[in-house]
């Protein structure tokens, strides 16, 4: 059995956290490929090493009179790593590595290179601590000349490199362009690296170790002690992530989904917890009718009304083209027989609202047009909803009892999710009401 394990920044922030990660890896011989992030915060007032590197590089490329600031920050970064090395009792020195980093910073080699050094150095330490082979991600993660990730080239390169290596550490977050210049993924890119490695080695499972015990049914800032989701499908995860739920970097789903590899979100500080298993499909019935409830605030809606619009060929197309021409993306589009409502991000729409309104009048000559602002969208997601009668009724009954006025309803034909529009000020109450009716009352 082969497992790929990725550890987030909080899981590798100190020597103590490193030892926890090392114990987890050594407790299962199947955990053969390790993807480390850069050291994160050791406490709420601390600074992530990646942020320190960005600041250090910024100082390095300023005028010479700022050189002292650059040297001070670089020394602080080195101290962070030296503390981890001493805490692990390793006979390891990063002196030469920091000399190279200093030289490259002075050469103004680039922000991506600077940011990537956090994972690179942590990878060297992790490999020494475990006795695993260290592989620089720049040698196996490929980007094309345009800076886009080259998935198939990477898969072939990674597969060939790891073919005869039983245990390896590959730093997350970065790779290289064809000319060898370091290129990073977006923030959270270590999740992507773990997924890429999992596909390349045909792993049985991809374990993503972080500081939470998996996905929660609802935001713990709104629902204290919210329950953990045991099993979630890729489709459910996509819906929840799109509407604001964050644990796993969204791009990390696709390489493993393509290979049918499940992802297990685990907690480094509570390794006994099973966490959340993310799968393509499952026969396992969910504990609750809903898998999760989440959402976002600050949307606006544009309602266009015209008698007999349903018989006017191309009506919707003409309206949508107005938004397209003005560079406004559309989130949702519930409609009736003589009305259609377009939901957009309020901050993106405000500057262009008058141009959009004028454009709609010219395009379709509506009988009535209405704008509403300060709308929140609540997404109720769950594969169990399709097989359960009365789900919508229970949702709206719960909202009614909580005195939450529903402004909009949008349900996909898959019956996997229901989107509900409410006022911004009702957002938290809506989440609580839905969680209570489907989870709290079922415990």
Residues 251-280 have pLDDT tens digits of 777 888 888 999 999 999 999 999 999 998
| Cβ-contact 160, 142 below 8 angstroms | no
Torsion-angle region of residue 374: left (phi > 0), alpha (psi -120 to 50) or beta? left
pLDDT category at 414 given cuts 50, 70, 90 is low
Task: Tell me what pLDDT residue 387 has.
Answer: 77
- Range with lowest mean pLDDT among 3-12, 27-36, 63-72, 311-320: 63-72
Which pLDDT does position 17 carry in this prediction? 97
Looking at per-residue pLDDT, the higher value among 244 and 203 belongs to 203
Per-residue pLDDT, averaged over 156-173, amounts to 96
Find the mean pLDDT for residues 212-228.
Answer: 91
Which helix (DSSP H) or strand (DSSP E) does residue 242 occupy? helix 234-242
Q: Which is higher by pLDDT, 388 or 419?
A: 419
Q: Which residue from 187, 184, 211 is spatially nearest to 42, judged by alpha carbons?
A: 211
CATH class of the domain whose range is 3-212+247-279: alpha beta
**Buried/exposed code over 98-115 (b: 16+ C-beta within 10 A; e: otherwise):** beebbebbeeebbebbbb
pLDDT class of 249 with cuts at 50, 70, 90: low
CATH architecture, domain defined by 292-442:
2-Layer Sandwich (3.30)
Q: Where are the alpha helices (DSSP H) in 151-201?
A: 151-162, 189-200
Q: How many Å is the maximal CA-CA distance in the chain?
A: 79
Q: Do domains 3-212+247-279 and 292-442 have the same CATH topology?
A: no
Mean pLDDT computed over 176-199: 91
What separation in angstroms does the CA of 41 have from each of 12, 49, 119, 364? Answer: 9, 8, 14, 54
Q: In what order do the strands lie in the sheet with 276-279?
A: 133-134, 168-169, 31-36, 3-7, 205-210, 263-267, 276-279, 231-233
Q: Which residue has the higher pLDDT, 257 or 124?
A: 124
| E strand or H helix at 86 | helix 67-87
**Cα distance between residue 208 and residue 192, in whole Å:** 11
pLDDT at 62: 81
Residue 301, class by beta-carbon neighbours within 10 Å (0-12 exposed, 13-18 middle, 19+ buried)?
A: buried
Q: What is the dihedral angle through the alpha carbons of 342, 345, 350, 352, rounded to the nearest 10 degrees? A: -60
Mean pLDDT taken over the chain: 92
Q: Is 26 or 236 the better-scoring residue by pLDDT? A: 26
User: What is the Cα–Cα distance from 78 to 49, expressed in whole angstroms?
Assistant: 10
Alpha-carbon gap, residue 440 to 330, rounded angstroms: 34
pLDDT for 25: 98
Domain spans in the chain, listed from the N-terminal domain onward = 3-212+247-279, 292-442
In this model, does residue 245 exceed pLDDT 80? no
**For residue 410, what are the β-bridge partners?**
419
Strands laid side by side in the 292-305 sheet: 330-332, 339-345, 292-305, 368-381, 417-423, 408-411
**Mean pLDDT of the 366-386 span:** 93
What mean pLDDT comes out for the span 342-352?
A: 94
């Amino acid at each position: 059995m082969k497992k790929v394990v990725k550890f987030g920044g909080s899981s590798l922030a100190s020597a103590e956290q490193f030892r926890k990660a090392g114990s987890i890896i050594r407790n299962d011989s199947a955990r053969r490929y390790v993807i480390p992030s850069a050291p994160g915060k050791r406490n709420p007032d601390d600074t992530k090493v990646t942020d320190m590197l960005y600041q250090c590089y910024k100082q390095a490329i300023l005028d010479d009179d700022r050189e002292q600031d650059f040297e001070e920050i670089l020394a602080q970064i080195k101290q962070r790593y030296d503390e981890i090395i001493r805490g692990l009792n390793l006979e390891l020195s990063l002196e030469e590595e920091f000399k190279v980093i200093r030289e490259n910073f002075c050469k103004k080699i680039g922000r991506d290179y600077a940011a990537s050094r956090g994972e690179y150095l942590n990878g060297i330490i992790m490999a020494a601590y475990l006795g695993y082979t260290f592989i620089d991600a720049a040698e196996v993660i490929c980007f094309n000349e345009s800076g886009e990730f080259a998935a198939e080239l990477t898969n072939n390169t990674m597969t060939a490199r790891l073919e005869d290596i039983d245990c390896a550490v590959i730093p997350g977050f970065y790779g290289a362009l064809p000319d060898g210049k370091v290129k990073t993924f977006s923030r959270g890119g270590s999740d992507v690296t773990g997924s890429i490695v999992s596909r390349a080695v045909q792993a049985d499972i991809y374990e993503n170790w972080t500081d939470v015990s998996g996905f929660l049914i609802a935001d713990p800032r709104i629902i204290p002690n919210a329950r953990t989701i045991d099993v979630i499908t890729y489709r459910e995860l996509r819906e929840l992530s799109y509407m604001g739920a964050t644990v796993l970097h969204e791009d990390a789903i696709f390489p493993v989904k393509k290979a049918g590899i499940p992802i297990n979100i685990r907690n480094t500080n509570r390794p006994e917890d099973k966490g959340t298993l993310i799968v393509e499909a499952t026969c396992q019935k969910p504990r609750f009718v809903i898998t999760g409830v989440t959402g976002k605030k600050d949307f606006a809606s544009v309602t266009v009304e015209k008698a007999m619009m349903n018989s006017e060929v191309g009506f919707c197309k003409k309206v949508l083209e107005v938004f397209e021409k003005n560079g406004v993306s559309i989130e949702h589009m519930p409609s009736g027989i003589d009305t259609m409502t377009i939901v957009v991000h309020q901050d993106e729409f405000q500057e262009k609202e008058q141009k959009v309104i004028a454009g709609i009048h010219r395009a379709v000559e509506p009988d009535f047009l209405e704008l509403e602002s300060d709308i929140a969208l609540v997404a109720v997601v769950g594969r169990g909803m399709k097989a359960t009668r009365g789900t919508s009724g229970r949702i709206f009954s719960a909202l009614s009892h909580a005195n939450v006025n529903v402004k909009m309803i949008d349900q996909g034909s898959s019956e996997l999710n229901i989107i509900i529009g409410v006022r911004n000020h009702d957002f938290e109450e809506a989440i609580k009401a839905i969680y209570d009716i489907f989870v709290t009352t079922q415990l």
